[in-house]
Structure 1
Amino acid sequence: MRILLVGYGTMNKITARLAEEGGHEVVGVIVNGDNHSPYPTFQNIDDAQADVAIDFSHPALILRLLENEVATPLVVATTGEKEAVISKLKDKSREAPIFFSANMSYGVHVMNSLLKKALGLLEEFDLEMVERHHNKKVDAPSGTLVKLLDTALDHRRGSYPVYDRSNTNEKRSSDEIGVSAIRGGSIVGTHDVIFAKDDEVIEITHQAQSKEIFSNGALKAAAELVHRPKGFYDYNNLFEER
């Protein structure tokens, strides 16, 4: 594949390395500011004439690029401003195949599937969600935790998230879903879903031990997306039989 990278931070540096190790060609990058990569710079996604573009950037950059025509298949892993980004991506999916996931790890997709099953079986359990990331991550809670929370809210009608209990003087409501974010050191990414009831606790945990899992997930999605017709895809439908 001929790949255009949108953004050239830590994640797309890893993506570039893994892509080239896999026999793919990185044709260029789109960045805000100076280009410190070894690849040519482009201003618009279609300018690169790539087979696919992979975005690990920032909402401000990808939203700006989506103001222009986009016919190139596009894999988007940007987190933050989720509703605005998804809305724009769905508009653009009339022009090109678009894949979006707040977390490119296939294991997180499996975790979300397990959560859906558990929510139907553990209705009487209190639900808490915790995510942990490195100290350079700017959005909180993470896009992945927002995805897991959305799944929980869809299945627990009348429930609501609680992000801060520091000034709370009342006991927990059964309708609460506690949401906590931890930032420190070089933690790659850990997500915990905790079901708690009297005398028992059930936890579902995903722990990323390397950032390569996200780049590998993006490359796997890209390899499938280039064969897909125009439309909006995620892990729930991209790998269905063509």
Structure 2
Amino acid sequence: MKILLIGYGAMNQRVARLAEEKGHEIVGVIEDSPKDSTPYQQYEHIADAKDADVAIDFSNPNLLFPLLEESFKLPLVIATTGEKEKLVEKLEDLGKNMPVFFSANMSYGIHALTKILEAAVPLLQDFDIELTEAHHNKKVDAPSGTLVKLYDVIEGLREKTTPVYDRHDKSEKRTPDEIGIHAVRGGTIVGEHDVLFAGTDETITISHKAQSKDIFANGAIGAAEQLIHKDKGFYTFDNL
């Protein structure tokens, strides 16, 4: 499989290393600005990488969105977080002409966590829910795209939900519809996501802790390996 990388930060550098270990080839890179240190052919446009079988994106909205407006026809694996609603709308439109895969978190374990939530939330309607995520001190967006995804699952399963991001200015008791959303930044934490169900005299916590960023890179490579054999369409872990 011949791969074009969109972005060449820490994550796509892992993708390159792991993909080559699996026998795949990196045919080029698109970056915000060309760098002499990049060990691959550098392109400005997706369509320029004519030998590529698929593009894997771990970049940012500023780089990705202009590229998606160009004319091309290449399977896409997209892992950029931020501006999710706008991004998904664009990817669904592109899926009318090519296979496109999107996940805010490329870990299959996180996908499994969402499935566990789909079973747990209806069973625990009388429990308060608090969502917490923790990441390294270099991560710039908060809350994480994954935590937003977990909230979306809960929102779809409860009659009413209200996200609460900060309680310092609230001086009233918690209401049943509130979903607390908390972000922690520090050290080199790869990624931790906790869902707390708090009931009367008991709590249940569902957790996922990433021990290496390789899980995200391998998840993207695995998605690409399947996507190149798919017909046009918009894909997630639910239908790949």
- Residue in 2 that maps onto 1:148: 150
Contact 1:70–1:96 at 8 Å: present in 2 too?
no
- Matching of residue 222 in structure 1 with residue 224 in structure 2: yes
1:94 positional shift: 1.3
Q: What residue identity is the alignment partner of 2:155?
A: L
- Residue in 1 that maps onto 2:3: 3
- Residue in 2 that maps onto 1:181: 183
1:166 positional shift: 1.1
- Residue in 1 that maps onto 2:133: 131
Rounded Cα–Cα distance in structure 2 between residues aligned with 1:165 and 1:70:
46
Rounded Cα–Cα distance in structure 1 between residues aligned with 2:110 and 2:182:
18
* Secondary structure, counterpart of 1:137 in structure 2: coil
Rounded Cα–Cα distance in structure 2 between residues aligned with 1:130 and 1:95:
38
- Residue in 1 that maps onto 2:71: 69
- Residue in 2 that maps onto 1:37: 38
Q: What residue identity is the alignment partner of 2:198?
A: A
* Secondary structure, counterpart of 1:155 in structure 2: coil
Which residue among 204, 209, 212 is the counterpart of 1:210? 212
Rounded Cα–Cα distance in structure 2 between residues aligned with 1:51 and 1:74:
9
Contact 2:75–2:98 at 8 Å: present in 1 too?
yes
1:34 positional shift: 2.3
Q: TM-score, normalised to structure 1's length? A: 0.97
Unpaired runs of 5+ residues, structure 2, are: none
- Residue in 1 that maps onto 2:166: 164
1:199 positional shift: 0.8
Q: What residue identity is the alignment partner of 1:10?
A: A
1:161 positional shift: 0.5
* Secondary structure, counterpart of 2:147 in structure 1: helix
Contact 1:124–1:197 at 8 Å: present in 2 too?
yes
Rounded Cα–Cα distance in structure 2 between residues aligned with 1:61 and 1:16:
19
Q: TM-score, normalised to structure 2's length? A: 0.98
Rounded Cα–Cα distance in structure 2 between residues aligned with 1:12 and 1:122:
39
Q: Give CA deviations for 1:65-122 in whole Å, capped at 9, x if unaligned.
A: 0011231000000011111111111111112100000000000000000001001100
Contact 2:34–2:42 at 8 Å: present in 1 too?
no
Which consecutive aligned stretches of 4+ in structure 1 deviate over 3 angstroms post-superposition?
A: none
- Residue in 2 that maps onto 1:83: 85
1:47 positional shift: 1.4
Unpaired runs of 5+ residues, structure 1, are: none
Q: What residue identity is the alignment partner of 1:45?
A: I
- State percent identity of aligned pairs: 58
For 1:184-203, what aligned pairs fall within 5 Å after superposition?
Answer: 184-203=186-205
Rounded Cα–Cα distance in structure 1 between residues aligned with 2:237 and 2:192:
19
Rounded Cα–Cα distance in structure 2 between residues aligned with 1:151 and 1:162:
16
Question: Cα RMSD (Å) of the superposition?
Answer: 0.7
- Residue in 2 that maps onto 1:122: 124
Q: Give CA deviations for 1:175-207 in whole Å, capped at 9, x if unaligned.
A: 100000000011000000000011110011000
* Secondary structure, counterpart of 1:229 in structure 2: coil
1:160 positional shift: 1.0
Contact 1:70–1:92 at 8 Å: present in 2 too?
no
Q: What residue identity is the alignment partner of 1:5?
A: L
Rounded Cα–Cα distance in structure 2 between residues aligned with 1:74 and 1:42:
16
Which residue among 92, 95, 108 is the counterpart of 1:106? 108
Q: What residue identity is the alignment partner of 1:137?
A: K
